[in-house]
Structure 1
């Protein structure tokens, strides 16, 4: 399980979602790189239409070298800095980043 991010072939800078040019160096060639883990930075729970549980939206920094992702969590975290396992889930025809909280 992982999320694909875009990595510049010239300088190694990583972004998500992919860009036409690297925001760090302007190079126009990138490659997809799979990232499996992230560190939770912040989250919020939002009421979800027609669902019993709230939708948990979070920001997390992919490990070891970024980028920051906006993603959905499967369960409520307990604190910033928690380690997350990343994966993609297809919703409405798109692959979107999700994560599960790893035990401490």
Structure 2
């Protein structure tokens, strides 16, 4: 599945996730835009999660999409700020990022 962001038809502001009204102009009509790539802004590793056994780290990153909005994505492995990634949605509807 592909990641989609939402662009206001009235003023062009691009957002994620979808909103009822545009915070910039108040418009309520949106066009979907497919986003396939972005750049890692920040990355972190979650080492401990409630209810999960030790050793199951989760790599997360704030990714500035090529369309503008920043999304939080799950990574297969550690990345650094500035790395380019490919974005997609998995069957659990999570945003995934793979380094290119």
In which range does the TM-score fall when normalised by the shorter chain? Answer: 0.7 to 0.9
Matched, 1:66 2:86: no
* Worse overlay, 50-59 or 66-75: 50-59
Where does structure 1 lack aligned partners over 5 or more consecutive residues? none
* Correspondences of 1:78-93 after superposition (within 5 Å): 79-91=80-92
Q: 2:34 aligns to what?
A: 34
* 1:2 CA displacement: 3.0
- Flag the structure with higher strand content: 1
Could you say which residue in structure 2 is the equivalent of 1:99? 97
2-structure distance, mates of 1:5, 1:74: 23
- Residue in structure 2 matched with residue 23 of structure 1 by the alignment: 23
CA distance in 1, matches of 2:2, 2:53: 28
**Matched residue SS, 1:90:** coil
Per-residue CA deviation, residues 17-65 of structure 1 (Å, 9 max, x unaligned), is 11111122110011211000001000110025247441111101101x3
Tell me which stretches of 4 or more aligned residues in structure 1 moved more than 3 Å.
50-53
Indicate the RMSD between aligned Cα atoms, in angstroms: 1.6
TM-score (ref. length: structure 2): 0.86
Aligned residues: 97
**Between Structure 1 and Structure 2, whose CA radius of gyration is higher?**
2
> TM-score if structure 1 supplies the norm length?
0.83
